[in-house]
Amino acid sequence: MKLDARSPSGPLAGKWGNFKREQKLVTPANKRKFRVIVVGTGLAGGSAAATLAELGYEVLSFCFQDSPRRAHSIAAQGGINAAKNYQNDGDSVDRLFYDTLKGGDYRAREANVYRLAEVSVSIIDQCVAQGVPFAREYGGKLANRSFGGAQVSRTFYCRGQTGQQLLLGAYQAMARQIGAGTIKMFPRTEMLDLVVENGRARGIVVRHLTTGQIESFNADAVVMASGGYSNAYYLSTNANGCNVTATYRAYKRGAAFANPCYTQIHPTCIPVAGDHQAKLTLMSESLRNDGRVWVPKNAGDVAKNPNDIKEADRDYILERLYPNYGNLAPRDVSSRAAKRVCDENRGVGPGGRGVYLDFADAIKRQGETKIRGEYGNLFDMYERITAENAYQRPMRIYPALHYTMGGLWVDYHLMSNIDGLFVIGEANFSDHGANRLGASALMQGLADGYFVLPYTLGNYFASTKLDRRETSTQAFKDAEVNVSNRIQKLLNVNGRKSATEYHREVGKIIWDNVGMSRTKQTCELAISKIQELRAEFWQNVSVAGTSDNLNVGLERAGRVADFLEFGELLAYDALTRNESCGGHFREEYQEADGEAKRDDEHFSHTAAFEYQGDAQVPMRHTETLNYEFVQRSTRSYK
């Protein structure tokens, strides 16, 4: 397998311009001749489908939800980054580029990250034109706030509902094209296989979830925008339906899966309340603009009412450890700091797995009305879940799985190693390295969909001789048979244990052993336990009903089966990366002060895995990360 990034030549700031200047074009009349499949309707998929259809391509859009508006992008809260420098506080494209590269612990491709920072400025203009109601200052100008890992205010926001408003903008653009007939929408359909013929992606096989029908669709290119795999851990901030199936099935068809061990733990989530939970709830990182993170200095005070603990007896851990960034230190280091104090028996709340996020000083300084205006919906959500009033006592928060930086490998053109398979948004690996900065997920999804893919896909069509393939070919028939056989295999087990129980078990294995910290021993243990659990799953899973109608249990079982395979790949990647970087923290590799210790000599590369068959060790390939324009240094936020 050859991993060629295909980055344009020339100075960093000119690469994207050079690409656009030299790209081959498709005439407007000829665009109607090309069909594009887009899997997923979140910010990346929705914006891509709308833009490609607006350009004139025939677009087939698929989502497993009952409406594109229910994509998980809608749950994003805090904001979207862009290097507009409206605050005149020193921001620039170069600074956003550097912050993103440093935030990812220098494990991302320079050219891709710079392009992301460069096109970020256009995203805000696009969204404002769509009517996205960004927060504004008293004089009417767009407002900004700060997020972790940055010393400037570059985050645009819609109170605590930014993802919802951005998704509605992309959805209305999609709806216009659906009405015009340029997008054909297939809701309640789940992609279950990728059809590859002669090394080229030719289409997909889906199951219509309401009828059980298996159907194939062909196209000249397939775009995957199916999101990340946080739900491999069972408990995460992701919606229950989020899964790895689409990208994992593409992996099994030959697509390289890059850096699966790069997972992001978000530091501000409502702590686990008990074994009954099926997901966790995010509290936006924006809250750390005004909230202060602390725990009692003395373990004997953890059971006290936090308002009764004197100021001198409080440990403001992030302000103490990272004075230059304080409570806005990046997510990975903030999460590990919270874990350390909880491991010292200074955690608060049930089970001692929580720290306080305190707004008393902000309310005193700005007034409760101001705080309600900024974060009111988040405070209301917190109270509905915990029955605690965060205006009167500190919130309790603890880190949880939130985002995944790993994904299918792509080059500068956003194309995987399979010709004609493009991957965008969280489904690919390209822009965030080993740790994503807050408010950058929405930026990447919209950058890929609105401003990058329309150029690179057009260049691909203009440069490639394509024959429209019919779904009657043997490759499509074989893929349909493969999907049908797997579904029937799940139904035939007739065991006694639900897929949800297996999901909870594999999630706990991965969280306990390949979670916020990992070791060689825990990674090996995770692999062994996952293999045992997977064998049991195929002997004892219970899937009621049939495949010819709506069967939620069957859907879940198929997704859990993929988690049981993918979890082993995640652990194997963590085992073979003998360093600590960003969200990948191997306890054997840390500095004297407990921070991550990189090994640039041996691991300054992207690890991309090639499927070798069931129960076979995947082949590990590498793409060397060469830094021509940035001088790598030890990552510090102190």
Q: Cite the active site residues.
A: 331
Q: Of 268, 264, 279, 238, which is closest to residue 354 (Cα–Cα)?
A: 268
**Is residue 184 classed exposed, middle or buried when 0-12, 13-18 and 19+ CB atoms within 10 A define those classes?**
middle
- The Cα 396–Cα 267 span in angstroms is 11
- 454 φ, ψ to 5°? -55, -30
Let me know the angle formed at the C-alpha of 175 by 169 and 177, rounded to the nearest 5 degrees: 110
CB atoms within 10 A of CB 84: 19
Q: Name the pairing type of β-strands 257-258 and 407-408.
A: antiparallel
Between the alpha carbon of residue 335 and those of residues 61, 148, 341, 400, the distances in Å are 37, 12, 10, 9
- 223 φ, ψ to 5°? -110, 120
- The Cα 209–Cα 628 span in angstroms is 49
Q: Quick one: CA dihedral 284, 286, 292, 293, positive or negative?
A: positive
Which two tokens mark 302?
Answer: 């953890």
Tell me the sheet residues that pair with 398: 269
Helix/strand/coil percent split, the chain, to 5: 45, 15, 40
Q: Of 638, 606, 635, which is closest to residue 620 (Cα–Cα)?
A: 606
Whats the size of the chain, residue-wise? 638
Residue 193's SS3 state is strand
Q: How far apart are the first and last CA of the chain?
A: 41
Which two tokens mark 253?
Answer: 């068809």
552-576 vs 520-540: helix axis angle to the nearest 10?
160
